[in-house]
Amino acid sequence: MGPMRRSAVLGSDTSPEAERAQVELWRRMSPLEKVRAVTEISRAVQQLSLAGIRLRHPDASDQECMLRLAVLKLGCQVACHVYPEAAPFSGR
């Protein structure tokens, strides 16, 4: 085994000991627990993205916010192909 790392790989603000403990917790999780965790994280990211959109566009309707989210998640080209009404929000 190589020399000991002095910093964590997953985050610069995390100690190697804390990182090892986190990785061990992930290893102990069942596949279902991992799917649930990823699903929760995905939902949280989407909610944070929508909150950011609403902060930047306070007068936007719910539909406009969802279209702007689609542009963020899918990119301009795909979002406008799937949702033609997203074109005004794609920066084109």
Distance CA 86, CA 78 (A): 10
Summarize pLDDT for 35-80 with one digit per residue, the tens.
Answer: 999 999 999 999 999 999 999 999 999 999 999 999 999 999 999 9
pLDDT in tens, 81-91: 999 999 999 87
Q: How far, in Å, CA of 57 to CA of 88, rounded?
A: 14
- Provide CB contacts within 8 A for 74, sequence distance 6+: 82
pTM of the model: 0.71
pLDDT, mean of residues 27-33: 97
> What pLDDT was estimated at residue 6?
59
CB contact at 8 A, 5 and 15: no
